[in-house]
């Protein structure tokens, strides 16, 4: 009689090899360059794709197990949030402005990243990279879905949540994040990995998901906290994938170094400009604040970023070209951007407001060298105008940066009293920029950025400059809400429902 032989249990490395590299094959009736045409597009030289290592060694069967468990916990919490009137547990309805920006700008970016990883997973010939990109593509679409589901409960009670997809395509301030992801998705596969794995995951995600999600908890929003921390374990893996890709390219051939360094310079600045939205959300839109934008930058930018570039220095990588200018802008960017949002608030689907005395005292303590000197006097002047019945509104169209598409509202790195404006002429046309970093990016790839879709020029081209027609097109109801939080329907509804909930307890 035959004896039963116990099957040998595979080790982690063996299982990973069987579930990744052993699933690949060499093409026979087509040349490899025909099957993977884009891998040579950017000039990156790869001599051995098997050198790509996934530190997590995650296989698809384990992936589904972990994600399914997170899904069960996530939906249990947001169901409880909805059933217990969680929309009334937030500090006040000003906080919703941050969620509206997140839903209109960041969640569509997650979906764009999903599409991008699905594409580059097909374009890389290495099986390890294909599997890693496949998992991240699924992660990104899950993040978009969970964010939409978590915030959908607010859509039942407050304005500005229902048409986030239209807002992403049409409203001027969402083109900042949209242009970032369009730029990444139209790049080659290796540049895409740095754009998302380094800039979006390492630069943006650290400064958005950790301090902002803590702020959500501090303001009573457990739905947002839940999707934030549900995604955080994925984000750790995504950052590792991005850094692994950078090291892989640098180790494969010394000729890759100048290409990678150029991408790091570009995508650091692209990511930093998108962080202008995040800085304003943290400093101005959280009624109860956990930390300032400056404090978050010190932890997740200076300390983490400094450690990263020290690690990469052994490959010859230096800190990004715009690092010093970014450091000089940290104490100014949230104030400058909020002043811009306030003056154009009639054209947004969220609210802005004049900081209270308590808010300004907090900002003064967090920004002792800049706020009282440069920004408190401006807010005091705007408050006087509002009290006099002549609120400061700028009905002129903002000049947008051709690269990052932010309004040109920032100041010179070394002079906070002088507006920063750069200009380039290309093929007889003039293009405007908010900074040296954005101008350098354009000058390096002008054929790409002259094709950028900018909301303000499009308003003139398609609607003959009719602001009323534009507001109808983007779904803003002129006359019902002028963008100010004071007296808005969100404020009235929140106060009314909170009062009803309190009287019933």
- Residue 484 confidence (pLDDT) above 80: no
- Bridge partners of residue 423, in order along the sequence: 432
- DSSP three-state, residue 136: helix
Predicted local confidence at residue 138, as pLDDT: 93
Most confident of the following: 287-301, 342-356, 364-378: 364-378
Task: Provide the token pair at 81.
Answer: 């949030």
The pLDDT mean for the chain works out to 88
Q: What is the pLDDT of residues 26-47, one digit of tens each?
A: 888 898 889 999 998 999 999 9
Predicted local confidence at residue 206, as pLDDT: 76
CA distance 505 to 346: 37
The whole-number average pLDDT for the span 62-71 is: 88
User: Which domains, from first to last, does the chain contain?
Assistant: 33-46+67-353+392-502 (1.10.620.20)
- Residue 226 confidence (pLDDT) above 60: yes
Predicted local confidence at residue 16, as pLDDT: 72
Name the burial class of residue 140, with classes exposed (0-12), middle (13-18) and buried (19+) by CB atoms within 10 angstroms of its CB: buried
Name the more confident of 29 and 476: 29
Q: Angle at Cα 321 formed by Cα 315 and Cα 322, nearest 5°?
A: 135
Q: What is the pLDDT of residues 238-290, one digit of tens each?
A: 888 888 889 999 999 999 999 999 999 999 999 999 988 889 999 999 999 98
The conformation of residue 204, written as its DSSP 8-state character, comes to I
* Concatenated DSSP letters of 334-345: HHHHHHHHHHTG
Predicted local confidence at residue 131, as pLDDT: 85
Share of the chain above pLDDT 90, in %: 50
Q: Which of 316, 329, 315 is nearest to 268 (CA)?
A: 329
Strand (E) or helix (H) holding 169: helix 164-170
Predicted local confidence at residue 114, as pLDDT: 95
Name the burial class of residue 337, with classes exposed (0-12), middle (13-18) and buried (19+) by CB atoms within 10 angstroms of its CB: buried
Name the more confident of 55 and 328: 328
Q: Which residue intervals of 203-292 are DSSP H helices?
A: 206-218, 222-252, 257-284
- Residue 146 confidence (pLDDT) above 80: yes
CA distance 251 to 163: 46
pTM (2 d.p.):
0.91
On whether the CB atoms of residues 162 and 155 are closer than 8 A, the answer is yes
On whether the CB atoms of residues 254 and 327 are closer than 8 A, the answer is no
Give the pLDDT band (50/70/90) at residue 4.
low
The whole-number average pLDDT for the span 399-413 is: 94
On whether the CB atoms of residues 415 and 338 are closer than 8 A, the answer is no
Q: Which of 375, 406, 339, 459 is nearest to 178 (CA)?
A: 406
Predicted local confidence at residue 378, as pLDDT: 96
Predicted local confidence at residue 475, as pLDDT: 74
On whether the CB atoms of residues 436 and 422 are closer than 8 A, the answer is yes
CA distance 385 to 379: 10
Most confident of the following: 12-21, 238-247, 335-344: 335-344
- Bridge partners of residue 431, in order along the sequence: 424
CA distance 203 to 195: 10
Predicted local confidence at residue 169, as pLDDT: 85
The whole-number average pLDDT for the span 327-353 is: 91
Give the pLDDT band (50/70/90) at residue 64.
confident
- Do β-strands 422-426 and 429-433 pair in parallel, antiparallel, or remain unpaired? antiparallel
Give the pLDDT band (50/70/90) at residue 15.
confident
Predicted local confidence at residue 482, as pLDDT: 62
Predicted local confidence at residue 460, as pLDDT: 75
Q: What is the pLDDT of residues 83-101, one digit of tens each?
A: 888 888 899 889 999 999 9
Most confident of the following: 66-80, 202-216, 256-270, 450-464: 256-270
Least confident of 69-78, 384-393, 437-446, 472-481: 472-481
Least confident of 51-55, 85-89, 121-125, 188-192: 51-55
The conformation of residue 434, written as its DSSP 8-state character, comes to S
On whether the CB atoms of residues 284 and 355 are closer than 8 A, the answer is yes
Predicted local confidence at residue 503, as pLDDT: 54
The whole-number average pLDDT for the span 284-305 is: 90
- Give the gyration radius of the chain's Cα atoms: 24
- Residue 406 confidence (pLDDT) above 90: yes
Least confident of 50-64, 189-203, 339-353, 462-476: 462-476
- Measured over the CA atoms of residue 164, residue 170, residue 176 and residue 179, the dihedral's sign is positive
- Residue 465 confidence (pLDDT) above 80: no
Task: Provide the token pair at 184.
Answer: 């990444």
On whether the CB atoms of residues 270 and 183 are closer than 8 A, the answer is yes
């Amino acid at each position: 009689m035959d004896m039963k032989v116990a099957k040998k249990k595979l080790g982690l490395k063996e299982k990973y090899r069987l579930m990744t590299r052993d699933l690949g094959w060499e093409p026979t009736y087509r040349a490899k360059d025909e099957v993977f045409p884009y891998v040579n597009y950017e000039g990156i030289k790869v001599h051995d794709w098997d050198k790509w290592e996934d530190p997590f060694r995650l296989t698809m069967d384990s992936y589904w197990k972990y994600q399914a468990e997170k899904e069960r916990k996530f939906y249990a919490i947001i169901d409880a949030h909805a059933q217990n009137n969680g929309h009334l547990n937030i500090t006040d309805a000003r906080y919703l402005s941050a969620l509206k920006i997140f839903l209109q700008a960041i969640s569509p970016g997650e979906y764009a990243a999903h599409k991008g990883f699905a594409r580059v997973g097909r374009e890389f010939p290495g099986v390890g990279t294909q599997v890693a990109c496949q998992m991240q593509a699924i992660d990104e679409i899950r993040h978009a879905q969970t964010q939409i589901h978590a915030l959908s409960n607010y859509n039942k009670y407050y304005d500005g949540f229902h048409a986030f997809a239209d807002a992403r395509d049409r409203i001027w301030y969402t083109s900042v994040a949209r242009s970032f992801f369009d730029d990444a998705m139209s790049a080659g596969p290796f540049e895409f990995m740095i754009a998302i794995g380094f800039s979006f995951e390492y630069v943006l995600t650290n400064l958005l998901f950790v301090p902002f999600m803590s702020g959500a908890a501090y303001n009573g929003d457990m739905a947002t906290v839940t999707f934030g921390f549900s995604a955080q374990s994925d984000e750790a893996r995504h950052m590792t994938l991005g850094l692994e890709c950078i090291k892989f390219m640098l180790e494969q051939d010394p000729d890759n170094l100048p290409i990678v360094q150029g991408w790091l310079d570009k995508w650091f600045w692209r990511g930093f400009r998108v962080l202008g939205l995040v800085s304003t959300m943290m400093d101005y839109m959280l009624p109860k604040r956990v930390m300032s934008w400056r404090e978050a930058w010190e932890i997740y930018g200076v300390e983490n970023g400094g450690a990263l570039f020290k690690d990469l220095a052994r490959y010859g990588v230096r800190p990004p070209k715009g690092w010093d200018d970014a450091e000089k802008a940290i104490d100014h960017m949230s104030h400058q951007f909020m002043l811009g949002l306030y003056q154009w608030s009639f054209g947004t689907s969220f609210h802005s407001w004049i900081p209270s005395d308590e808010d300004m005292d907090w900002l003064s303590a967090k920004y002792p060298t800049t706020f009282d000197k440069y920004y408190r006097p401006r807010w005091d002047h705007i408050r006087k105008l509002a009290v006099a019945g002549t609120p400061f509104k700028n009905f002129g169209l903002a000049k947008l940066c051709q690269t990052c598409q932010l309004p040109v509202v920032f100041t010179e790195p070394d002079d906070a009293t002088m507006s920063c404006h750069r200009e380039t002429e290309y093929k007889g046309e003039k293009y405007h920029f908010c900074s040296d970093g954005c101008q350098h990016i354009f000058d390096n790839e002008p054929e790409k950025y002259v094709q950028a879709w900018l909301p303000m020029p499009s308003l003139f081209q398609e609607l003959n400059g009719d602001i009323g027609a534009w507001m109808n097109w983007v779904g803003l109801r002129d006359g019902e809400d002028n963008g100010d939080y004071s007296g808005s329907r969100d404020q009235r509804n929140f106060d009314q429902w909170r009062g009803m909930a309190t009287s019933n307890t």
